[in-house]
């Protein structure tokens, strides 16, 4: 397992990371404190006042999606 992409995110962080995949005009509002946490983890960034997912955030989201399915089952 690649420990560089192994993050123990809270459900709120996962939901915010998933929301950031969408274009800014199509996504719901992301909790500011959760967004700050994702920025601190370098999974998201803010550019010109708009939050977006980073390449690392995309990799974490893809890698974590199988773990999320296990939780839902």
Residue 4 has pLDDT above 60, yes or no: no
Domain boundaries, the chain: 8-72
Query: Do residues 42 and 18 make contact, with C-beta atoms less than 8 angstroms apart?
Result: no
The string of pLDDT tens digits covering residues 53-65 is 999 999 998 887 6
Between 73 and 13, the more confident residue is: 13
The string of pLDDT tens digits covering residues 10-48 is 999 999 999 999 888 888 888 999 999 999 999 999 999
Beta bridge partner(s), residue 53 = 44
- Which of the four CATH numbers 3.90.700.10, 3.30.1360.120, 1.10.10.10, 3.90.550.10 does domain 8-72 have? 1.10.10.10
Q: Give the model's pLDDT for residue 23.
A: 86
pTM here is 0.79
CB atoms within 10 A of CB 16: 26
Beta bridge partner(s), residue 50 = 47
């Amino acid at each position: 397992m690649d420990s560089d992409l192994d993050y123990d995110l809270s459900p709120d962080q996962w939901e915010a990371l998933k929301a950031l995949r969408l274009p800014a005009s199509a996504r719901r509002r992301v909790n500011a404190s959760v967004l700050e946490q994702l920025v601190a983890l370098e999974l998201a960034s803010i550019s010109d006042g708009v939050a977006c997912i980073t390449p690392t955030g995309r990799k974490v989201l893809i890698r974590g999606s199988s773990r999320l399915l296990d939780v839902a089952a």
